[in-house]
């Protein structure tokens, strides 16, 4: 396998030998440095190859439902139109003291990133991006007011496991409001995994390498699979006969 890393050692032959010894102690057989260069004084970057001695049971991981069948933007639109029949309402924010809005903006805003539209660009979604440093109570209250189908939380700050406490608090608030069965809860961030998210009470977690259509695929599939009584009433006809399905597009970032 190939691995790359940086060691706090000055560039030179001794650094190369240190990298090989470190890899050997990590359990790699026949480790070989194929590239190394100085990053700055006292730090050297390495690219290595080695034979891994540890194994994982890939089949068991797949069977546990870690894989999500992702759809393209066009497939998501078609799936939502056929199986849901109304705009899916999503409310998102970077909550707690987290000031980083790049992740939530990439998922929800029209621009998205890497050429992938955010959920705001989908006809199947109505999105409400509350931005950063949003208290969990405010996010949940907004979701209830909008009769949202899903909440998306972004967590970048992880010092002292702040993200764990913050994500746990959000689930507790949703449950206290009696809305857990009605809301799809998703979260994402550099140190968020699907396993961690489910352990904390969320329906799914997304980490590095996630694109908006990954999140959208999960939400529409999850919403379509839930019993009709558990879905948000956002699409039910109002007294004048018009439903939320008549709403147009997304709302972008809320004030």
Active site residues: 111
Rounded Cα gap, residues 107 and 130, in angstroms = 13
Helix, strand, or coil here: 78?
helix
8 A C-beta contact, residue 98 and residue 106: no
Rounded Cα gap, residues 201 and 186, in angstroms = 10
The helix or strand, by DSSP H or E, that contains position 206, with its residue range, turns out to be: strand 204-206
8 A C-beta contact, residue 129 and residue 102: no
7 pairs with which residues across the strands? 44
Percent composition of the chain: helix, strand, coil (DSSP 3-state, to 5):
40, 25, 40
């Amino acid at each position: 396998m190939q691995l790359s890393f940086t060691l706090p050692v000055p560039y030179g032959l001794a650094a190369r030998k240190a990298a090989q010894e470190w890899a050997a102690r990590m359990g790699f057989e026949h480790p070989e440095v194929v590239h190394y260069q100085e990053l700055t004084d006292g730090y050297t970057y390495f690219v290595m190859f080695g034979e891994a001695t540890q194994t994982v049971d890939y089949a068991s991981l797949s069977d546990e439902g870690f894989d999500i069948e992702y759809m393209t933007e066009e497939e998501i639109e078609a799936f939502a139109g056929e199986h849901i029949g109304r705009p899916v309402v999503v409310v998102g924010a970077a909550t707690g003291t987290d000031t980083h809005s790049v992740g939530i903006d990439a998922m929800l805003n029209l621009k998205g990133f890497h050429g992938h539209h955010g959920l705001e660009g989908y006809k199947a979604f109505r999105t409400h991006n509350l931005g950063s440093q949003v208290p969990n109570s405010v996010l949940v209250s907004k979701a209830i007011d909008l009769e949202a189908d899903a909440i998306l939380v972004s967590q970048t700050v992880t010092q002292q496991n702040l993200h764990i406490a913050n994500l746990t608090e959000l689930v507790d608030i949703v449950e206290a409001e009696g809305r857990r069965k009605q809301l799809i809860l998703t979260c994402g961030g550099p140190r968020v995994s699907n396993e961690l998210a489910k352990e904390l009470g969320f329906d799914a977690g997304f980490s590095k390498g996630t694109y908006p259509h990954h999140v959208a695929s999960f939400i529409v599939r999850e919403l379509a699979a839930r019993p009709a009584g558990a879905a948000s009433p956002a699409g039910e006809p109002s007294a004048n006969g018009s439903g939320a399905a008549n709403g147009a597009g997304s709302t972008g970032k809320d004030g």
